[in-house]
Chain A
Amino acid sequence: MDALKQFFMTAPVDPAVFAQSLWLIIALPLLGAFVCGVFGKMLGRANVYLVACAAVAGSFILSVLAFWAVSHVEGGSPVAMESAFSAGRIRYAIGYDYGTWFSAGDFRVNFGLMVDHLSGTLLLVITGVGFLIHLYSTSYMEHDEGYWRYFAYLNLFVAAMLTLVLGDNLVLLFVGWEGVGMASYLLIGFWYTDNAKAWAGRKAFVTNRVGDFAFLIASFLLVMMVAAFAGQANQANFSQGGNQGERYRAGLVEKGPLSFQALENLATALPVSTDKAPGVAVTLESTIEKGPLAGFTFGGVLTVALLLFLLGAAGKSAQIPLYIWLPDAMAGPTPVSALIHAATMVTAGVYLFSRMSYLLVLSPTAMVTIAVIGTATSLLAALIAFAQDDIKKVLAYSTVSQLGIMFMGVGMGVFWAAVLHLVTHAFFKACLFLGAGSVMHGNADETDIKKLGGLRTEMRWTWATFLVATLAITGIVPLSGFFSKDAIYHGIHHSHLAGYEWAAGAVYYVGLVIAASTAFYMSRLYLLTFEGKRSPEAKIAHAHESAWPMTMPLVVLAVLSVVALVYALPLMPGRNGMQPVMENFLGPVFSNAERIAARGGLVELDRSVPKLGDYIFAWLVAVSGGVVAAFLYLKFFPSKAGQPAPAWARGVRRFAQNKFYVDEVYEFLIIRPVKTVSIVLFKLLDTLIIDTVLVRGTAWVTARVGSALRYVQTGDAQAYAAVMALALLGGAVYALIQVLQ
């Protein structure tokens, strides 16, 4: 056992050396994208597959090495990186700064990459699941002419996503953030000849842009806040985090204000009020003295910034009010839905908030908003999922719902569980989507679950893996989904946000409803697709099982959805007894958040471990939903076949099927008015008032005056002479008067 431990704690490559090669993780898929995109047609199908898969596989190997390097322990002390902002070292992290990206005025951004346990975990998920999906795609896209484009986009996406998690500052994160949006736009609209699909891509991009707009403003607010803080804070402030003011300011010059380290040090040096930390010059309650934010309090600005980040995250992670793009994004190829719109990109919001956990715990208002938004989104999406018949749409809404659960966790301060759920969700949701893709592939692209059925015997592998993943997402013991979801629920139930004590209970009980709903619609999906008899409306009489490149990833992902449960088991020794593996593992990342929470009294984070009774209760909730679905779809509805449903039931169904008309409301409230205003402005203000009345009007008046004055030109020389004489006379008389006076 010790030998094994020793093995895992000794990185094969010296972490300090490896840190310099971190860029390769991004560069490989980027190169793959370039090669596939530019030379893809020349290379031919097999070579493109090879290049694309090899790039991601290489990235995966490097990610493993990186992950290994961050767990490296030498002589009892773990690997650590220098911090530019404080004398302390950041444990369990490696990073490297490749120099300036751009700097102007006081602002600077560096190409700094960093891996710690959080980004390391995500690296593995992105490249690991990414590789499986690349492999799957080689079979899924075997008949598509645009294969080279597809793989170029897919590699581009992986590169952008890796930038997102590797960046050590907000701007670099934003590069990945928008980059994945761009890749997602290209992939959703991959079959661009279908107008609806191209339209869905555009909808996704523009909706995401709304979030990015908020993200940008939030970043600017942080820049200004950091500047104000650096100007006002005194040494007592910095001593809160064991830091030196000089060092911090030097760090700002060296790495810029949006570096995560700058924000982390700011968070540790910002106490809640002076009675908790005597002598400090700046607290959350003190006002900013100079600059454009003068008059606002630090805490206020921070809350506003975090709420704006929430809007940004809502765009990327499909939360209310910006979730509407995700269901439409299913227009893309199914592996894309699995990779981008389930496993990786949409979890960027969760990553963002986990990354900035230390800021989040300073603002209970922002936290409770995140939790409430997450709960509302999750519930809404689960309800919509009840009535969807498209297999991918159900999965899409289920993704929205699961992301909502992660947001609940982040909002209530259970960061590690949210990240764990992110990981397990990546496994089972990718498995579900790929399973759905396999179903479509084997059934002539049929997506309506009413027209499938009975696939259990025809697609053995797909059926088995889909079942495992369904059980995982439903939360059945002993699959990973059960543990990760339960870890979030348990944490939610026991956390406290100052001023929002009601939140813990409210979010928790709504969460139970969501869990039951999830079980219901997932069971429905599973039952209608795989159980029962094959629907008479099916496109082809018999489905065929997919080839090994498609089933193999399914199996791997299904196994992972089971195995990942290990991370939720309390196996590691922690400060308060045994800790779940993941909590222990992410401990260094969230240690500052926990320290701040313990110090401040704004947020109480729960560290307890669920009891057996909790587990049983959660299990019962999940099973109840599944049982209801089983009863309805196996017994109730088949027995009622042929009888019309009551009017109210049809009304409710239509309402849910049309997604509660949210799209229509947006169309009516935002898109139409903007379009109308722009057309009215163009016709009325631009064309009529400015161009016709003012510009052409000036020309017209000039021309009219000119043609009126033309008639003065009589052509009579004597008349001209008379005018001249009169003018001279007038001038003479005037001069005479002047002289005489």
Chain B
Amino acid sequence: MSFFDNHLLNIVIYLPLVFAALLWMLPSGERGQIRTVTFIGMLVDVVFGLWAYLKFDPAGSEFQLEYRARWLQELGVSYHIGADGLAISLVALTVFLGPLVVMASQTYITERVKEFHIALLVLQTVMLGALLSLDVLLFYIFWEAMLIPMYLLVGVWGSEDRQMAAVKFFLYTLVGSLLMLVALVTLYFITGEPGSRSFDYADIYNSLMVANRELSACMAGPAGACDNLTGLARTLMTWGPWMFGAFALAFAIKVPMWPVHTWLPDAHVQAPVAGSMILAGVMLKMGTYGFWRYAIPFFPVAAREARPFLAALAVIGIVYGALMCLAQRDIKKLIAYSSVSHLGYVMLGLVAFTGEGATGSAYQMLNHGVSTGALFLLFGFLYERRHTRLMSDYGGIARVVPLFTATFVIVTFSSIAVPGTNGFVGEFLILLGTFKSGLSLWLAALATTGVVLGAAYMLWMVQKVFYGGLTHRENQGLKDLSVREFATALPFLVLVPVMGLMPQPFLDRIEPSTERFIARATLGAPGADVPESAVRVTAMALPSADVAAAPNAEPSSGSLAARR
């Protein structure tokens, strides 16, 4: 057991923070140095992130590369991180975007450069932390901490209306998270006896799982069989839907699902290119990731009852988001609404509860990060040159910026899921899963119309911006992509066909997580026959005191835990 076996994920999470500290010591006038240091930090993080990604063994246990240490154990909290297939995939996406975001902001950000890069690095750390936490309270801390750097990114370095957008983003997402906190603390109290309460994911899940099994068993029985449930199962029957609602609202706002999506267009429109890329690339997936990891496994019975509702919202999101795109004049807003549509697909695949749907959904999370991230990146380059977001201010610029146009069109094809690009695999699997899910076939067919609308709005935008005669004299002198800009876009261009033609290595890592997710979700079906071994979470136990890293570790006999 080398140092890296134990601490690989710690390194991945905290490396950006270390570099942030380094940056803090640099004089703020040294812009070039600041950018370089940040870039190196992100790049090193890519190395470690990819190492972790490759090291993850799809055939191995559910959570790998775990690390657990004593921390606030009086409250039943511990510092516990680890990765499952989905988390490690999203980690790979996050670290992949890191250096590109820095490169994209090189000329975009000219004020408060040091603070900007510190915010970026801190954001990177908290996002990775939220993905990898296996302690629910730790997750919550990272989850909320994400808001602060993002708030600053939008509010300080955004465009003209940035304050409003930043506050809206902050409050909107905070409302949901606070409800989630309430549900989370409730869970803490109901899942353990006094003295053995724990915030650990495995502990909470396993006690809920036993109760959920009782609940689903009695629901299959005759009417009234559930009346004589006792203990946790009884509580879950009464309060489960409410707690699921609290979790679901928090995550739905983050996704964002219709109708709680309106913060997204504003935040995207005002955010600087880096903010938009991270927001679309990683942060939106936190919502779907939350559904996948917390909301649905914790409350499978309630989730199953809410499934038609969630699926309907997802389909509305797909169609509605696409229709909104057709009504936009602002390019960034159009891309933002296209995110609503795409994330609708992800949610639909998730609530389909089929192997195809869930795998497709997980894959689409990665795809959306790549294709929409690239769209925001490319538009950021254009915005830097012209400082306008209106489609009508462009028109016919393909002649002036051919390389840019070619890049943009390739990414557009990826976004509208032309087969051979990454988007297709995800969308195909999601729709197939939806058809197989037993949700209404009409609903699934309605979701498929997104395929047509997607092509309609994206190509419409491409045509208005790039094709036709040059309509504005100001655009005559637009410069094509510089070497630095093309180098930033190149990884996306490479990933688009690679993820489209060789999806299996990516899917292999997602697959085991999918199976467990499906098993956990099926637990909510009345009379579900899921073996306990398929759903039980096994994770690292709390290390004994002498191994633990926490300095204040004390034999548990004298601590508060014993007296509670």
A residues at B contact (CB < 8 Å): 37, 100-107, 171, 174-175, 177-179, 182, 185, 189, 192-195, 198-199, 202, 205-206, 209-210, 212-213, 216-217, 220-221, 223-224, 227, 291-293, 674-675, 677-679, 681-683, 686, 690-691, 694-695, 699
Contact = CB atoms under 8 A, between A and B. Distances in A.
B389 interface: no
Interface stretch (B118-126, B455-463, B549-557): B455-463
A541 to B, nearest CB: 31
B467 A699 contact: no
Contact of A699 (B171, B419, B436, B470): B171
A292 to B, nearest CB: 5
Q: Which size class do B's interface residues fall under?
A: 35 or more
Given A217-B445, A679-B327, A681-B320, A104 B451 contact: no
Contact of B463 (A105, A202, A209, A690): A202
Contact of B466 (A105, A192, A677, A678): A192
A220 B451 contact: no
Contact of A205 (B406, B428, B455): B455
B468 A194 contact: yes
Contact of A193 (B262, B413, B469): B469
B494 interface: no
Contact of A678 (B327, B424, B428, B514): B327
Contacts of B514: 104-105
A675 B453 CA distance: 11
26 contacts: A100-B504, A102-B503, A102-B504, A103-B507, A104-B507, A107-B429, A107-B432, A171-B419, A171-B428, A175-B420, A178-B418, A192-B468, A193-B468, A202-B459, A206-B459, A209-B456, A213-B449, A220-B444, A223-B432, A224-B436, A292-B435, A677-B323, A678-B324, A681-B323, A682-B323, A695-B172
A205 B429 contact: no
A104 B463 contact: no
B478 interface: no
Contact of A105 (B262, B324, B433): B433
Contact of B504 (A37, A101, A209, A223): A101
A731 to B, nearest CB: 27
Given A292-B437, A678-B323, A690-B259, A206 B455 contact: yes
B428 A292 contact: no
B460 to A, nearest CB: 7
Contacts of A182: 413, 418
Which secondary structure dominates where chain B touches chain A? helix
Given A103-B507, A195-B468, A220-B436, 7 more contacts: A102-B429, A104-B360, A179-B419, A193-B399, A205-B455, A216-B448, A223-B436
B350 interface: no
B448 A217 contact: yes
A675 B431 CA distance: 25
B244 to A, nearest CB: 22
Interface stretch (B34-42, B198-206, B272-280, B351-359): B351-359
The 8 closest A-B pairs by CB, nearest first: A105-B355, A104-B359, A198-B467, A195-B468, A682-B327, A678-B323, A175-B419, A678-B326
Contacts of A699: 171
Contacts of A690: 259, 262
B420 A179 contact: yes
Contacts of B176: none
Given A105-B355, A175-B420, A194-B468, A220 B459 contact: no
A209 B360 contact: no
A682 B357 CA distance: 30
B425 interface: yes
A576 to B, nearest CB: 42
Nearest to A695: B262
Contacts of A227: 436
A320 to B, nearest CB: 18
A538 to B, nearest CB: 28
Contacts of B262: 686, 690-691, 695
A199 to B, nearest CB: 7
A233 B348 CA distance: 31
B452 interface: yes
B511 interface: yes
Nearest to B324: A682
Contacts of B516: none
A212 B326 contact: no
A105 B359 contact: yes
B146 interface: no
B347 interface: no
A55 B455 CA distance: 30
B414 to A, nearest CB: 11
B438 interface: yes
A224 B326 contact: no
B413 to A, nearest CB: 6
Nearest to A37: B406
A438 B469 CA distance: 27
B180 interface: no
A189 B428 CA distance: 27
Interface in B248-307: 259, 262-263
Contacts of A198: 463, 467-468
A104 B355 contact: yes
Given A178-B418, A695-B262, A104 B172 contact: no
B168 interface: yes
Contacts of B357: 105
B441 interface: yes
A103 to B, nearest CB: 7
B82 interface: no
Given A193-B468, A198-B463, A224 B451 contact: no
